[in-house]
Amino acid sequence: MSDPATAPDTVEIYADGACSGNPGPGGWGAVMRWRGHEKELNGGEPDTTNNRMELMAVIESLRALKRPMTIDVYTDSTYVQKGMTEWIWGWRKNNWRTADKKPVKNADLWQMLDAEARRHTVRWHWVKGHAGHPENERADALARAGVPGRS
């Protein structure tokens, strides 16, 4: 039996977000890898936050997949990683409110991410940002390139 982390039908996604000011113009980027193929994605918004761009990087990567897959998502955002592995269960149960009854920040994107992730089997991994991890550095460069107004 093969290791699921190296199974041929496992997609690897390396996602990152960037913001010039917070809030301010922001970008997101992702590197997707499957069966020896790579795809790079990026985009941005003129007025956003870093956390929204971190979420968009994963949302858009999952949207790019045409069928249910096993996915390893690598992010340097503890906000995204903990949100999907720890906090989301309570948010769903509390109708997208925090434990102290306040609306969840970025609930629109969390709901989109939740819906996209439910189509797949997703494993969430945190990687240290700006630490020389090649795919994370590429995702960061793509995110910075996606910031509107940057050339």
Could you give the residue numbers annotated as active site? 16-17, 54, 76, 130, 140
Q: CB–CB of 40/57 below 8 Å? A: no
> Is the Cα dihedral 105, 25, 60, 14 positive or negative?
negative
Q: Is there a binding annotation on residue 76? A: yes
Q: Which pair of structure tokens corresponds to residue 35? A: 């069966």
Q: Is there a binding annotation on residue 47? A: no
Q: Is there a binding annotation on residue 54? A: yes
3-state secondary structure of 9: coil
Rounded to whole angstroms, how far apart are CA atoms 131 and 137? 8
Q: Is there a binding annotation on residue 140? A: yes
Estimate to the nearest angstrom the gap between the alpha carbon of 144 and the chain centroid. Answer: 15
Binding site listing? 16, 54, 76, 140
| Residue ranges of the binding site for Mg(2+) | 16, 54, 76, 140
